[in-house]
Chain A
Amino acid sequence: MRLAMAIDTKKCVGCSDCVVSCQTENSVPIGYCRDWIVEVNDGTYPQLEMEIRSERCNQCSNSPCVRCCPTGASHYDYGGIVLVTPHKCIGCGACISSCPYDARYPHPKGYVDKCTFCVHRVKEGLPPACVAVCPTKCLYFGDTDDQRSEISLVLKKRKYKRLIPEAGTNPNLYFLI
């Protein structure tokens, strides 16, 4: 099983519902966030193009953060999701420095925190909080190893890109373009 997410940049309106739902679902401390919206503006008026992306941890298959972690707190878990075990984390910051997506942050309690793909919901068969609340249904979540899953079908049908694959991370967030 390889859990992944596809974000339809043509449908995303940048409402930030995913950000707020994540903060609520995961009790993210105030002033922090595990996912965020990026707006890319290209060109000059009136020739303008805009892309909106809902971004989070890329749950890389070749994660620099897992590789750099000196204690094994960062590890691959259920379906390839990259997780941090708080009681093993020493808060050294190596994973934060090694992440090209800046997806990790030091939790006020000391350990490093990040998007978990809502693994507690996924294990019960529920979609991650951000996917569940998205008003434009622009987020697809599922198993890319399963050829008939919704995400596999959408990735076959649509053109997509991944962020900074040249960093050698083999990311699992797909941005439909």
Chain B
Amino acid sequence: MREELIISGRNNPMVDPVLNIWHWQIPLYLFLGGVAAGILFFASLYFIMGREKKYPAAIKWAPFLTPFLLVIGLGALFLDLNHKAFFWQLYLTFRIESPMSWGAWILMVITPLSIVWCATWIKELKPGWHWKYPFLDQWEAFFKKHRLIIAWIMLISAVILGVYTGILLSAFNARPLWNTSILGPLFFASSLSTGAAVIMLMAKSHLERNIFSRIDLILIAIEMFLIVHMFMGFQASTQVQIDAANMFLGGAYTEVFWIFVVIIGLLVPAILEILELLGYKIPIIITSSLILTGGIFLRFVIVYAGQASRYLY
């Protein structure tokens, strides 16, 4: 029998006995940022493709949620900081090796862009809308003229935002569960899927809902594929990564992962979407809220389980 013990009584708060440095704020932000990235990705993509008439919910209505999602997410991130008064240090430097630095800067790009994007559509949403100050009218006209450029920047930023939420975790050598490059594509697929779920919820036309239902079905298939690949990769890797995978294959996180993320968040919505495409009437609120639940559970489970996976002792 072999046991390793710290005998000098190390008990550093938030580090011992198991790392507990990140709480609800980080997974909540990863989820909200992901949803916003998903919505803005579809909005800018379909605007660039010229589908403005066909997909009004994706291009015009759903983006109105994103400034709120991003601001709440940023607030959660701020609450997570231990040295809050120094947060501005993030914006005095750009560190190419640090995903968190990428994230801080991309949020500074995409949050104002999402507000600008909404401002150019607000007169269509509320026909009686008028700006309080006349210079805002000039700005609106300027941004309306350059919507295509905004859409391109937003598309690229949305991809970076969606992928970075996963890469953020996989950059950490110390946590075998996170230390897999599959997390980037997995979180991006999940963010597109949750974004599509919100668009489905807001779509008024049957056509738009149907299209996003199909897109979501493909994304769910990709997520399932990536989850299987992630576990295959772990099982073929070193002992610490096999141990990390075993947390989900019989260990402490088995039930919450397979029931809430895989069954409730992926399989049930996939079946409901297939039934809907076959012509059955399924209330869209059920499908969408299940997908969103799955998305939020995925973030929480991965963030908490990752902190429990380690090399030493």
Interface residues of A (CB under 8 A from B): 14, 16, 19, 31-33, 36-44, 64, 67-73, 86-94, 96-102, 104-106, 109-112, 163-164, 166-169
Contact = CB atoms under 8 A, between A and B. Distances in A.
B98 A67 contact: yes
A67 B82 contact: no
B172 interface: yes
A40 B4 CA distance: 4
B86 A88 contact: yes
Contacts of A93: 14, 21-22, 80, 82
Interface string B1-38: 11111111111111110010110000000000000000
A66 B13 CA distance: 22
A42 to B, nearest CB: 5
Nearest to A28: B12
Interface in B72-113: 80-87, 89-90, 92-93, 95, 97-101, 103-104
Given A71-B93, A72-B95, A93-B22, A38 B82 contact: no
Interface stretch (B209-217, B277-285, B305-313): B305-313
B238 interface: yes
A157 B103 CA distance: 48
A134 to B, nearest CB: 14
Given A64-B173, A102-B174, 5 more contacts: A19-B8, A41-B3, A98-B174, A111-B83, A169-B173
A69 B95 contact: yes
A100 to B, nearest CB: 4
B172 A64 contact: yes
A97 B307 contact: yes
A104 B86 CA distance: 19
B6 A38 contact: yes
Contacts of A43: 1-2
Contact of A100 (B83, B87, B173): B173
B90 to A, nearest CB: 6
Contacts of B12: 31-33, 102, 105
